[in-house]
A and B are shown apart, each in its own frame.
Chain A
Amino acid sequence: MPEAPELATTHTAELDSSAKPERANRAHGPRRLFRGRVLFLLPALIYLLALFAYPIVYGILLSVRQSSVITFVHNTGGFVGLTNYRLAVTNPVLPGVVWNTAIFMVGSIVAQFSIGFLIALFFTRRFPLSGFLRSLILVPWLLPGVVTGIILRMMFDPNIGMVNQVLSNLGLIHSPIEWFANTHLALLVIVLANIWIGIPFNMLLLHGGLQDIPHELYEAARVDGAGRLRTFRSITLPVMRPVIAVVLVLGFIYTLKAFDIVMIMTGGGPMNATQLLSTWAYTLSFYNLDFGQGAAVGTIMMAISLVCAFAYVRTYRGELRS
């Protein structure tokens, strides 16, 4: 990772001046000074090791050990290599889970990004109350997942749900739709729920990016006689590329993690139709008490996330430079 130290230098380059007063303090000894400084960081380092590094390693170890009801509480199972991974990959439930996760992620990301971008573009216009209204859109994103999940579950409830009522008032349906009993519809509903949560987040970041585009660029385009679509394609999109990259990567990571709304709205059902990698890992560990297989699925998810995280760090660096 030869480029990574640059990350640190970009942040601390402006702090070089601190070297001077340090020299004045040298009587106390640079070692002592260093020790004093490191004390500020030490709690965080210990914290990261204890609550991130250790559990991650623990999870990986869990995934290569035998797990049964006997080893339930204390992890005493023997080393079994990649058996748990083999079991997970050949599990008859897996193809469905991968499919659901793919549909869930692609559907959510495409829709929340497009809609979020449109709303962000709209809110670059000037009109009264625009700041206030824009912040109201953030509400769904700030709500706890459980709250979102339960409210939307009610919206789609076959008996009292508003969605069925609106559809039937419009004459589109004649009898109530059982959203959570149908495998395809249940998946559709959790995708819609996740889009609802994701739109504000996408809108917020994209709007921030749009605000940072220098106005002169648009002026120049207008002078050159560029139309609205042309301006968008030739100016907005290229300038926004780093922001768009960050938004998409974060969208990917968060969507892969999604758990709360699915547990609340469908619990992975009916018949695993809305089981995602995250809820499946939970089910394997905590329902089937097969912690080995659950940890194997978790480790695979983590690997996917890490690949994305490095993409994120790269774009994050790009952001900082510009």
Chain B
Amino acid sequence: MKFRRRKGLISGLNLAVALVIVGLMLVPLYWAVVTSLKTLHQSYATPTALFPPTPTFAAYSQVVHTQGGSLLTSFIIAVGATMVSLLISVPAAYALANFRFRVTWLVTLSLLVAQTIPGIVLGTSFFKIFAGLHLLNSYLGLIIADSTYCVPFSILVVRAFMIGLPRELLEAARVDGATLLDSLLRIVIPLSRPAILTAALFSFLFAWGDFLFALTLSTSNSVEPMTLSIYSYMGQYTSQWPDLMAAAVFAAVPSAILLILVQQGIRGGMATAGLKG
């Protein structure tokens, strides 16, 4: 009895410490949300209010009004990059997991190395190459550039999962006369859904959050993703903090969704694939 009570006390203390750690890590986010709900005047009041005195969504409607287009642009680009990424990585992961090629090790090595290339190196070359191909200031250009964040990562994550699938299923299918494509479409993809979903979500997030390619591959504001629009908005209206924070909250929505969806999925095992470019 005594023992149990002590145990409860300890786990209560642990919980309290954990809450403090989480609180400290999330203070900036709390502050962003609070500021986004203030009026401009309130955001400058000293001492600063810890809660929005008269919560208002004015900043949000302002952002929808002025930057709604950019949010849509980011969404289109992120969906495009995710699709490109899946179309290339799922078959490649299937091949790398199941067939033996002499180049398998080389491809795997290249995928690991590809993730270490600094974005600015690719961005500078893309700028020059895309200028010749008329891909600057275009959706297609940004979709292609952003997909470089996703493809190596997706191949490695999906392949790691596919290696773990029971071989017998594929062999049984082959005995039944299924082609390689059949077994990919009918057996491997349905079974690999968790890994493919993880790859897709992270691909979306990488492309959604891209700033470097948006910055380097734009010479006008004709195609302006949300990251770039926040950057230029900040340059013009440094002091409009409620609006800037509302834009930041909008931009953070996919991260929140991803966190909820793959809460259990993000585990140390993915370390080997190397995360986030």
Interface of B is mostly: helix
* Interface pair B121/A139, CB less than 8 Å apart: no
**Hey, which chain B residues are within 8 Å of A285, CB to CB?**
124, 127
Given A151-B29, A259-B119, A281 and B209 touching (CB < 8 A)? no
Q: In the bound complex, how far is the Cα of B263 from the Cα of A38, in angstroms?
A: 35
* Interface pair B119/A294, CB less than 8 Å apart: no
Contact pattern, B 237-277, Cβ under 8 Å of A = 1, otherwise 0 = 00101001101100110011011000100111101101111
User: Quick one: closest A residue to B91, CB to CB?
Assistant: A40
Interface stretch, picked from A48-56, A78-86, A87-95, is: A48-56
| B63 beta carbon closer than 8 Å to chain A | no
Cβ contact of A44, chosen from B151, B247, B252, cutoff 8 A: B151
Q: In the bound complex, how far is the Cα of B31 from the Cα of A263, in angstroms?
A: 22
* Interface pair B245/A151, CB less than 8 Å apart: yes
Interface band, chain A: 35 or more
* Interface pair B244/A154, CB less than 8 Å apart: yes
Q: In the bound complex, how far is the Cα of B22 from the Cα of A15, in angstroms?
A: 44
* Interface pair A8/B104, CB less than 8 Å apart: yes
State how many angstroms separate the Cβ of B105 from the closest Cβ of chain A: 4
**Hey, which chain B residues are within 8 Å of A147, CB to CB?**
209, 230, 248, 251-252, 255
Cβ contact of A263, chosen from B103, B126, B231, B239, cutoff 8 A: B231
* Interface pair A41/B101, CB less than 8 Å apart: yes
**Hey, which chain B residues are within 8 Å of A18, CB to CB?**
98-100, 167, 170-171
State how many angstroms separate the Cβ of B94 from the closest Cβ of chain A: 6
Given A11-B108, A137-B25, A309 and B113 touching (CB < 8 A)? yes
Q: State which residues 121-144 of B face A: CB under 8 Å.
A: 121-129, 131-132, 144
* Interface pair B241/A160, CB less than 8 Å apart: yes
User: Quick one: closest A residue to B114, CB to CB?
Assistant: A52
Q: State which residues 191-219 of B face A: CB under 8 Å.
A: 205, 208-212, 215-216
* Residues of B in contact, count (CB < 8 Å): 114
* Interface pair B268/A207, CB less than 8 Å apart: yes
Cβ contact of B107, chosen from A12, A41, A51, A201, cutoff 8 A: A41
User: Quick one: closest B residue to A252, CB to CB?
Assistant: B116
Q: In the bound complex, how far is the Cα of B125 from the Cα of A150, in angstroms?
A: 28
**Hey, which chain B residues are within 8 Å of A306, CB to CB?**
113, 116
**Hey, which chain A residues are within 8 Å of B267, CB to CB?**
208
State how many angstroms separate the Cβ of A153 from the closest Cβ of chain B: 8
Q: In the bound complex, how far is the Cα of B167 from the Cα of A135, in angstroms?
A: 33
Given A62-B124, A154-B241, A208 and B268 touching (CB < 8 A)? yes
Q: In the bound complex, how far is the Cα of B148 from the Cα of A44, in angstroms?
A: 11
User: Quick one: closest B residue to A157, CB to CB?
Assistant: B241
Interface stretch, picked from A120-128, A182-190, A220-228, is: A120-128
Q: In the bound complex, how far is the Cα of B216 from the Cα of A298, in angstroms?
A: 14
**Hey, which chain A residues are within 8 Å of B44, CB to CB?**
159-160
State how many angstroms separate the Cβ of A210 from the closest Cβ of chain B: 9
**Hey, which chain B residues are within 8 Å of A212, CB to CB?**
268
User: Quick one: closest B residue to A210, CB to CB?
Assistant: B268
| A27 beta carbon closer than 8 Å to chain B | no
Cβ contact of A122, chosen from B18, B170, B269, cutoff 8 A: B18
| A152 beta carbon closer than 8 Å to chain B | yes
State how many angstroms separate the Cβ of A224 from the closest Cβ of chain B: 24
Q: In the bound complex, how far is the Cα of B89 from the Cα of A41, in angstroms?
A: 9
Given A150-B244, A286-B216, A7 and B116 touching (CB < 8 A)? no
* Interface pair B167/A7, CB less than 8 Å apart: no
User: Quick one: closest B residue to A298, CB to CB?
Assistant: B121
User: Quick one: closest B residue to A148, CB to CB?
Assistant: B28
Q: In the bound complex, how far is the Cα of B249 from the Cα of A109, in angstroms?
A: 28
* Interface pair B112/A41, CB less than 8 Å apart: no
**Hey, which chain A residues are within 8 Å of B88, CB to CB?**
43-44, 47
**Hey, which chain B residues are within 8 Å of A37, CB to CB?**
95, 99, 101, 180
Given A44-B155, A155-B28, A59 and B124 touching (CB < 8 A)? yes
Given A281-B120, A285-B124, A298-B121, A211 and B101 touching (CB < 8 A)? no
* Interface pair B128/A142, CB less than 8 Å apart: no
**Hey, which chain A residues are within 8 Å of B17, CB to CB?**
122
* Interface pair B215/A263, CB less than 8 Å apart: yes
**Hey, which chain A residues are within 8 Å of B83, CB to CB?**
none
User: Quick one: closest A residue to B85, CB to CB?
Assistant: A47
The 8 closest A-B pairs by CB, nearest first: A208-B268, A144-B209, A44-B92, A8-B105, A55-B125, A40-B95, A127-B14, A127-B11
A-B contact pairs, 12 of them (CB 8 A): A18-B98, A21-B171, A21-B174, A44-B92, A44-B151, A45-B103, A122-B18, A150-B247, A259-B120, A281-B124, A285-B127, A319-B271
